[in-house]
Homo-oligomer: A and B are copies of this chain.
Amino acid sequence: MSDKTSTRNRILRAARKAFADKGRDGVSMSEIASEAGVQKALIYYYFPSKEDLFFEVWQYSLDELEDHVFAETGSENVYLRKLKKLLRSYISFITSRDEVRRIMERERANIASHPESTWSRVRERYLALRSKISSIIEGAKSEEKIPKDVDSEDAADLIINAMNASQGTDGLESIGEIIWRGLVSQDK
């Protein structure tokens, strides 16, 4: 956390914005430096490499998302209610923190495909988030509120991808509603 105005944090904020705009491999270190108002070499004083800088942004962003999204799920003891709250929190978080949404949207193809080592830490952090969501869905399945033929991990991916791909607030609500109905509707 430390000082909000420290050089290191200025770099991190500039990096987050730049990564959200152009993706990890689409942005140059000099662009980030210029955005942060520092010389490029100074970034390497605080971060060993571009990859590490990105990973810190990624980690911090997903931590924030997780904290916000699971903040209220603990107070519920019915899994279906946990899920409902999670969806609502997801929408509210993404609405207020658009950069996080855009970073996840930007990099999801890299998470999904590449077995490249440069993406493995990033993917692992993502899978940890997905796992926390899918276990709530799993719980709702055991309550018989969600059909057994729904795969929890696929459903968690769907929630994350669909939400992150949406842009306006209204679109988010609309998509959240479709997914919710799709999850809870019992097959005939």
A26 at the interface (CB under 8 A from B): yes
> Which listed residue (B21, B109, B157, B182) contacts A113, Cβ 8 A?
B21
Q: How far is the CB of A3 from chain B (nearest CB, A)?
A: 31
Q: How many copies does the complex hold?
A: 2
Q: How far is the CB of A7 from chain B (nearest CB, A)?
A: 28
Which residues from B are CB-within-8-Å of A1? none
> Which listed residue (B23, B149, B166, B177) contacts A157, Cβ 8 A?
B166
> Which listed residue (B113, B154, B181, B182) contacts A102, Cβ 8 A?
B113
**Given contact pairs A185-B182, A185-B185, A174 touches B150 in the complex (Cβ within 8 A):** yes
> Which listed residue (B151, B170, B171) contacts A174, Cβ 8 A?
B151
A44 at the interface (CB under 8 A from B): no
- Residue-wise interface mask of A (100-115) relative to B, using a CB-CB cutoff of 8 A (1 in contact, 0 not): 0010011011001100
**Given contact pairs A23-B109, A105-B112, A179 touches B177 in the complex (Cβ within 8 A):** no
Q: Determine whether the beta carbon of B167 is less than 8 Å from that of A112.
A: yes
Q: Determine whether the beta carbon of B161 is less than 8 Å from that of A165.
A: yes
A129 at the interface (CB under 8 A from B): no
A selection of 11 A-B contacts at a CB cut-off of 8 Å is: A21-B113, A25-B26, A102-B109, A150-B177, A151-B171, A157-B165, A157-B171, A158-B166, A158-B178, A165-B165, A185-B185
